[in-house]
Amino acid sequence: MDIENKQQMRIVLYTLLSKVPQGCLVTYGQLAQMAGYPGLARWVGRVLSQLPDDTQLPWHRVVAAGGRLSLPPNSRAGDEQRQRLHLEGILIEQDRVKLANYQWQPDTVSQ
């Protein structure tokens, strides 16, 4: 895959991520599926890990399958994610969230 295609994939991913509403979550796999890249959940995680520190994208609203928080507690990014989710009213128990309560299920994703 060439650089231009990879950049286009990132743009699609960033656009979808920007639409995740406050208080809602998506999984890495769900975001990959919505972007048209099923099976690329790990790629989504890798791309998000490369976002600049001052990004305005709501990266903290992306969790692993089953609602698991994949960023380790007591790490800068992990602590920031937990704090941001808490401020949005998302309850975290044993490093998990109940996706049934918070998972974003858009009827349609508009550009």
What residue spans define the domains of the chain?
A: 3-102
- Adjacent-strand bridge partners of 62: 26
- Burial of residue 98 (number of CB atoms within 10 Å: 0-12, 13-18, 19+): middle
pLDDT by residue for the chain (111 residues), tens only, comes to 577 888 999 999 999 999 999 999 999 999 999 999 999 999 999 999 999 999 999 999 999 999 999 999 999 999 999 999 999 999 999 999 999 999 999 875 544
The pLDDT value given to residue 107: 73
DSSP lists the bridge partners of residue 68 as: 96
CATH placement of domain 3-102: 1.10.10.10
Q: What is the pLDDT of residue 25?
A: 97
How far lies 3's CA from each of 7, 47, 52, 99, in Å? 6, 14, 19, 34
